[in-house]
């Protein structure tokens, strides 16, 4: 964080909180300097994603285990409403009933998992990082280098990993539904069609293939970037609000900042509940739409 002997400035505070707990493949601690480094793992994103995923699975398992055929309780009713909502969206986008048996539960998992990952942003900004700082120092390391980010969806590697998985599923279903030949023909015949003239057909085939590649890449990147951008911005706003409370100690003129801190924090937290829910829903819907497109022939 800041050097010993003085409190961190606002910029040092934010930079510290935006740094991941990183290790290389040998689990040796590192600090990433390159924009993209495939030798580095954001260990905090991986661990929190796994932990939250286990919690989400446990919640759904508990709901299924306690389900009754009589009048449902509040918990069962809430889960049933969620399952019915996802199933209706799956039916609207995936018309192949056999594929829907896998895709509908997948969409439910995506929604619940991403909602819980986003909801990590509702925890106090300094809570888990402060705990980790104490643990890191107790293990004999420099506590000023105890980095920890708790919102996996504010990590671009997480969101692009999710969207890349959706892309892989789209390619699998494209081949499964249309066959290798049918999908290959689609790649060179859409969106501009074909021609009986051999030279024109080759030119159109190359252009169509390039357009298909651009479409796949654009959908994948925008799918992950949309979720990342919204959650990164939300995380940054919470940090700025946290700084308002800490500024009280900086000067006498800042005594009213804690009031603004409480008001702004409350308003943003309420609004952010909508954001984290909406972003989970949008990611789920785009997953269903892209998988639905993989089932359709041009």
- Which of the residues are catalytic? 222, 226, 230
User: What are the residues whose beta carbons fall under 8 Å from the beta carbon of 166, sequence distance 6 or more?
Assistant: 220, 223, 286, 287, 290, 291
**CA proximity to 145, closest of 129, 126, 158:** 129
CB 107 within 8 Å of CB 91: no
The SS3 assignment for 249 reads helix
* CA dist list (Å): 200 to 189, 206, 263: 12, 10, 65
R_g over Cα of the chain? 24
CB 169 within 8 Å of CB 291: yes
User: What are the residues whose beta carbons fall under 8 Å from the beta carbon of 212, sequence distance 6 or more?
Assistant: 186, 187, 190
Name residue, tokens 């009213």. Answer: 256
What's the rounded Cα separation, in Å, for the pair 79 and 72? 10
Q: How many CB atoms sit inside 10 A of residue 40's CB?
A: 18
């Amino acid at each position: 964080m800041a050097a010993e002997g003085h409190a961190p400035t606002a910029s040092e505070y934010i930079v510290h909180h935006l740094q991941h707990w990183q290790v290389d493949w040998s689990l040796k601690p590192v600090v990433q300097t390159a924009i993209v480094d495939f030798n580095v793992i954001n260990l905090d994103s991986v661990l929190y994603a796994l932990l939250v995923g286990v919690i989400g699975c446990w919640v759904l398992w508990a709901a299924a285990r306690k389900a009754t055929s009589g009048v449902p309780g509040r918990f069962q009713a809430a889960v049933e409403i969620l399952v019915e909502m996802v199933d209706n969206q799956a039916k609207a986008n995936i018309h192949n009933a056999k594929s829907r048996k896998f895709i509908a539960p997948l969409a439910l998992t995506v929604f619940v998992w991403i909602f819980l990952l986003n909801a990590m942003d509702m925890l106090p900004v300094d809570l888990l990082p402060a705990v980790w700082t104490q643990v890191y120092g107790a293990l004999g390391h420099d506590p000023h280098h105890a980095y920890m980010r708790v919102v996996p969806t504010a990590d671009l590697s997480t969101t692009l990993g999710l969207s890349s998985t959706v892309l892989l599923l789209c390619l699998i279903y494209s081949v499964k539904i249309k066959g290798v030949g049918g999908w290959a023909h689609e790649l060179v015949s859409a969106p501009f069609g074909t021609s009986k003239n051999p030279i024109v057909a080759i030119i159109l085939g190359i252009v169509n293939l390039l357009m298909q590649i651009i479409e796949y890449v654009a959908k994948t990147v925008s799918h992950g970037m949309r979720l990342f951008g919204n959650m990164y911005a939300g995380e940054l706003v919470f940090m700025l609000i946290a700084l308002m409370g800490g500024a009280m100690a900086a000067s006498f003129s800042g005594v009213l900042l804690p009031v603004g801190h409480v008001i702004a924090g409350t308003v943003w937290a309420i609004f952010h509940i909508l954001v984290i829910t909406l972003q989970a829903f949008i990611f789920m819907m785009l997953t269903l739409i892209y998988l639905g497109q993989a089932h359709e022939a041009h």
